[in-house]
Amino acid sequence: MISGTVTVAHATLCLLILAVASGCAGMETREMEVTAYCGCGECCGWERGSWKFLKLDVWNRYVTADWGKGRRYTGKTAGGTRPHPPRPGLFSRDSLRRPWMVPVRILLPWNIQPRKGTLAADTDFYPFGTEIYVPGWGWGVVEDRGSAIKGPDSLDAFFRFHYQTERWGRQRLEVKIPNAVEGASLEENP
């Protein structure tokens, strides 16, 4: 009975080592054009008030882009979540770089845990839930798709404020995609 359990444990351990050694747990590095967006009307295509109400309903936001002109703007991503920037958490390099943030992260308990930010990508190549590391921004999860984001070589990273998006601009970066299967390519689907 014990030898059967040990054999199963050894077999499981051998399969795990084989999977890691074969590259299943590797990271693919890919050069991509990374742009930035925030929740403002300029980045997301909405404006306050409707001419139907003579623009007096300034508390409502309406879509001005072609994909939903006139509909109410909810602020949610295409994946149904609220967009958010990445949060490094208490035990991170950011805490070493900016030690004055440690007391803030301790006093506000939701800042202790790290959180991945929102990325917009072409979901034909990167489905919702794909994790990607963007240097200078942090870890993110594909939760949105942008109207201008086409192909496997472009990403859109979420920032909280518009001045941050202007400062980021448009950059060509080597991003890392974990658990990418070796040999698989991101060529166009037939």
The predicted model scores a pTM of 0.73
pLDDT in tens, 125-183: 999 999 999 999 999 999 998 778 888 999 999 999 999 999 999 999 999 998 754 43
For residue 16, the model assigns a pLDDT of 53
* Confidence band of 17 (pLDDT split at 50, 70, 90): low
Domains of the chain, first to last: 27-39+78-178 (2.40.40)
pLDDT in tens, 60-83: 777 777 777 778 888 888 888 999
For residue 101, the model assigns a pLDDT of 85
The answer to whether residue 38 scores a pLDDT higher than 50 is: yes
Q: Kind and range of the H or E element at 102? A: helix 102-107
How many Å apart are CA 36 and CA 169, to the nearest integer? 7
For residue 98, the model assigns a pLDDT of 86
Distance of CA 122 to the CA centre of its chain: 12
pLDDT in tens, 90-109: 888 888 888 888 888 888 88
For residue 11, the model assigns a pLDDT of 56
For residue 175, the model assigns a pLDDT of 94
How many Å apart are CA 149 and CA 155, to the nearest integer? 7
For residue 135, the model assigns a pLDDT of 93
The length of the chain, given as a count of residues? 190
More confidently predicted of 12 and 49: 49
Candidates 58, 109, 67; CA nearest to 87 is: 109
